[in-house]
Amino acid sequence: MGLTYDIPVVLSITRNWVIQQKCNASKLTVLFTTKMHPFILILIIATAFNVISGCSDSVTVRNQGPDNGKPQFSDDWIIPKNEVLDGGPGLDGIPSIDNPVFGSINSESLRILSDDRLITGIRVGNVIRGYPHQILDWHEVVNDQVNGEYFAITYCPLTGTDIALKRNAGMEFGVSGLIFRNNLILYDRHFYSRYSQMQIRGVNGPMSGTVVEIIPVIQTSWAVWKEMYPDSEMLLPDTGYKFDYSGYLYGKDYLHGNSATIFPTNRQDNRMERKNRGLGVIEGVPDERAKVTFFPIQSFGNEINLINHSFYNVEAVIAGSTGKNFAIAFQRVLKDGTILEFTPVQDSLPLIMTDQEGNVWDVFGYATGGPRQGERLSSVQAYTGYWFAMADFFPGLSVWLGETN
């Protein structure tokens, strides 16, 4: 399939090219052709100057190698090298947020958020943080830490996938500027390895083949997040850049138009619309041989519903709600060997389920009441994303269309 020539593509390519110029307005050259539609030309010019106006006063050059030279990356890949594409902006051309600023949910600068736009939420200990996709669209990586626990929030706008990667204090992640099957390829600034976000592992360099440990996150709407965690800490748009965080970086149609993709797809799977969001539960190393089940968010119904089930070698519970716009998964087997049977809890967010022992559990898998209060359910390897991306990465995946509990 060739590249689709539509407005979101034009805007994305323009945005990537301008960022690649390190936001130097003197380098901006707009090429006019007599065949170019005037409306498209206006969009290109507007997008270019929007990006330039968003650049910080000074651009931090992060991609320094061991001798303050260009980083040396390996030429060896464990994914098909011919499918690794240049996304446009270059190394660190999409700037990660390395010193995030947080504020309350009522912060004035968050008035730009729309209730239907998405949020990535995480809980580390007793600290709960939200990361608006309207900000993540422009940065894709937030290097963060809570009380000495280091992690990176990673988000790929093209595949709709958000994953929190554990890291140590001396290891930051950045955006490589490369794409594999429409999905973000990260790199680290210590080993100079590259990582496939959706494969959750190194695919190039010294860390090649190493699966990175993840921390569970929840993807839901801003409206639902405010209902669940009104006292949470929120990533603020105080990034040092003047990007227009109020808009749609890749065009509103990219979020809702089922046919729109920026780069070609390797496989087509017509069992559902391409932009259906759902939770992919992954058993084994997350490569093409992995056993994956996809749980469409639209299949859960407006109330919170649960699936207590055995998936391959994992006893898991999947909780989700179409009305509340999320799905999440945990292991049901505790360290003492107990297998919990869950039932849903309604109208009590962030609480979503109880069990046969009388424990009550929240969306991050913490027991907030009952004999196991304070304990946390073990996570499973899972994350939310678009159907077309899951189908492209995991060709043998199955789709859950059965009854919920």
The pLDDT value recorded for residue 116 is: 96
Cα separation values, 75 from 80, 89, 148, Å? 12, 20, 34
The size of the chain, in residues, is 405
pLDDT at 70 > cutoff 80: no
pLDDT at 405 > cutoff 50: yes
pLDDT tens profile 124-135: 999 999 999 999
**d(C-alpha 356, C-alpha 345), whole Å:** 13
Mean pLDDT score of the chain, rounded to an integer?
A: 86
The pLDDT value recorded for residue 71 is: 78
The pLDDT value recorded for residue 401 is: 82
**d(C-alpha 300, C-alpha 352), whole Å:** 13
Q: Which residues pair with 159 in a beta bridge?
A: none
Give the whole-number percent of the chain exceeding pLDDT 90: 74
What does the block give as tokens for 209? 């083949």
Give the whole-number percent of the chain exceeding pLDDT 70: 82
pLDDT tens profile 223-259: 999 999 999 999 999 999 999 999 999 988 898 777 7
The pLDDT value recorded for residue 112 is: 97
What does the block give as tokens for 37? 């539609």
pLDDT at 212 > cutoff 60: yes
Among candidate residues 90, 82, 154, 87, the one with its CA nearest the CA of residue 122: 154
- Min mean pLDDT across 118-127, 130-139, 338-347, 396-405 is at 396-405
149 exposed, middle or buried (CB, 10 Å; 0-12, 13-18, 19+)? middle
- Min mean pLDDT across 168-177, 269-278, 309-318, 332-341 is at 309-318
Q: Which residues contact 186 (CB under 8 A, 6 or more apart)?
A: 141, 152, 154, 165, 173, 174, 175, 176, 194, 195, 197
The pLDDT value recorded for residue 3 is: 38
